Amino acid sequence: MKLRAETEPLIVGRFDHSRPVVLYSRADSAVMGLSNTESLAEFARAQGLSVAAIRSDVCPPDRHMVMRPQWAHTVELIESGRAGGLVCMREFDIAHTAEVVRQLRGWLEAQGAFAVYPAQGPGRTETGR
């Protein structure tokens, strides 16, 4: 997915350019995952973000985040302090219901971390339910 420069991202938490991020992609296919990862890397470069790691899971959107191996690596990087946040296309790519969105946001807050969703503008929620 190619990101448009005029799209303002949804930011959750206190965005801090000085902290490295994990680029996380959840996609239905490996091809889409690669495209998403390339777009996320381009976005991170444009924002001047340092990338600690790139992780991508190929799975349906309703697979809970705890069942995704690359999401587990993302969590580990944030909880260990090696990354201060994550960049993912849309919050829906991680959390597919309103309840899981609340859990994700609570976890980010507890970690003092942030998330940036460049394909999802502020105020837009795109949970599947």
| CATH number of the domain residue 58 falls in | 3.40.50.1390
Whole-prediction pTM value?
0.87
Q: Does 123 map to a domain?
A: no
User: What pLDDT is stored for residue 96 in this prediction?
Assistant: 87
Binned at pLDDT 50, 70 and 90, residue 129 comes out as very low
Give CA–CA dist 11/87, Å, rounded: 9
What does the pLDDT average to over 57-74?
90
Cβ pair 124, 11 in contact under 8 A: no
Per-residue DSSP letter, 54: E
Helix H or strand E segment including 23 = strand 21-27
Kindly report the average pLDDT of the chain as a whole number.
Answer: 88
Give the pLDDT of residue 86: 97
Domain-located, residue 7: no
- Report the number of distinct structural domains present in the chain: 1
